[in-house]
Each structure stands twice: as structure tokens, then as C-alpha cells.
Amino acid sequence: MKIEFEKYQGAGNDFLILDNRLEKYSSLTKIQIAFLCNRFKGIGADGLIFINSDEFSDFQMQYFNSDGKESTLCGNGGRCAVAFAHSKKIITDSTTFFAVDGLHAATYISPYEVQLEMKNVYELSKTENGLIINTGSPHYIRLVEDIQAIDVEKEGASIRYSDSFLPNGINVNFVEKVDSKHYKIRTYERGVEGETLACGTGAVAAALGMHYLKESEGIKEILVSAKGGDLKISFEVTEHKYHQIFLKGPATFVFSGKVEL
């Protein structure tokens, strides 16, 4: 099978995107997807995205982690899917599309700002040394003093695989406060099984978590700096319900190619 792909990245979070509107690639197996995402033997990416046809919206985004398994929502992947769809004239500047957690609205402003509306968040819960928040994907958030001192691979894996989060595990985020409007983040992503340069749903979880902990009380837009770049998260809050949540940041084309499987 010949695969035609394009690669996009959002704040260093990189994805292979396949136009699957004619279901050309629907037979790809978990092993084949993992091979394509492998950075040593394949093309290399944090995940793979199908752009599928959808009866009720402009397109459907189907997301697979780099381990080949279909996964929960990927925020940066969603923004890159919008940039891809815009480049292919599937959409204009505004769009609605379906992801695994339902319908999303998004706006393409430029390659340096694509904004994605996230689902409302109704529940944040405190746990030992952190918070649990689901922003389309489940996240553990821990506020730390020095983010560079954290062994993300080791500590992230220990939390991700802990008994508390069996059987599916959880994404793990370490957050350092710069000031009430600005935070640094490092993320261990399940499915990638390692640290990624950015994580969109993790950045959203961190922003909401810092507001919930009153570290950013009164702030409605927060800058979250990942290793791969900056993301902005804006939101409204009403009685612990977070709504009108927007994830904003770059979503840029890297390269295109063909590969034979």
C-alpha cells in the first residue's frame, strides 16, 4: 500500500495526517500505524490523524497515538487537522468537525494561530499531590517548584502506570508557575510513553487547574509554555463549570511525502 501523508506540528507536537475521506487508509493496522510513527524505522510522529468524511460536519478527525492505538482527544492534533483541512480547501477559515469526544468548533487565523474550542469541563478533583482533570483526555496535574529538576520519564511513568489509574493510565503534567498569567509545563503522554514537546489537552488542563487552585484567580487567559512552544488558553467559569474554553497556538506544515507499506 502506498501512503501519501503530510506532517504538521503544533508547538512541537507532531502528527502524520492522511486524507481518508475516500476510506483509502481505513485498513491500516495498529502495527502499521505504529511503524509509520516510529522515529527510527518509520517517518516519526507523536500520532497519526485520519481526516474522514462526516455527514453532519466538515470532517471527522480520527486520532491514533504513536503506539498505533486509537485514542482520546488530541488538542494540538485537532488544531493541526484544521490547518490541514484549510490547506486542502475542505474548510474556510471557520469550521466544525467531529472528534472522539463530539463536535468541535475551530478557527484558522494563520499558521501561527489556529484556535480550537474545547468541551466544557465540569469536574476537577484533588488527589495526592495533584489534580485530575479530563479535557477530552484524562490528565494528572502537579504543581512543582523547579520543572527542570523533574525526571519526567521516570516520575511520569510511575504515575501513569500506578494502581490508582489502572487500567487505562493517565497523562501526567508537571507545571511551574512563572506568574499568575504564565506557566511552564512538561508532559508525559500515555500512548507515546514518553515526554512530548507539547500537549494541547494537557496545557488546557494545566490552565484550568491553576485557576481552580486559585493560583490564577481572576485570570481568563493563560500562557502555557511547553518545551516545543507556547500555547494560550482562554476560558469562562461559572460555579466551577469551565466553558468557552479555547486552545490557541501554531499549527504549521512540516513536509509531505509518500511511503510504501
The catalytic position among 199, 207, 222, 231 is 199
Entry pTM? 0.97
Contact of 39 with 25, CB cutoff 8 Å = no
Tell me which residue has cell 469550521. 95
Supply φ then ψ for residue 188, to 5 degrees: -100, 120
Is-catalytic flag, 80?
Answer: no
Residues 172 and 113 in one domain: no
- Into how many domains does the chain fold? 2
Residues 181 and 202 in one domain: yes
Supply φ then ψ for residue 217, to 5 degrees: -60, 130
Residue 249 to residue 231: CA distance in whole angstroms: 5
Instruction: Single out the residue of 119, 126, 103 nearest to residue 235, CA to CA.
Output: 119
Is-catalytic flag, 199?
Answer: yes
- From first to last of its 261 residues, the chain has per-residue pLDDT tens of 999 999 999 999 999 999 999 999 999 999 999 999 999 999 999 999 999 999 999 999 999 999 999 999 999 999 999 999 999 999 999 999 999 999 999 999 999 999 999 999 999 999 989 999 999 999 999 999 999 999 999 999 999 999 999 999 999 999 999 999 999 999 999 999 999 999 999 999 999 999 999 999 889 999 999 999 999 999 999 987 999 999 999 999 999 999 999
The catalytic position among 74, 83, 85, 247 is 74
Preceding amide of 167 cis, omega within 30? yes
Q: What is the CATH number of the domain that holds 182?
A: 3.10.310.10
Residues 129 and 243 in one domain: yes
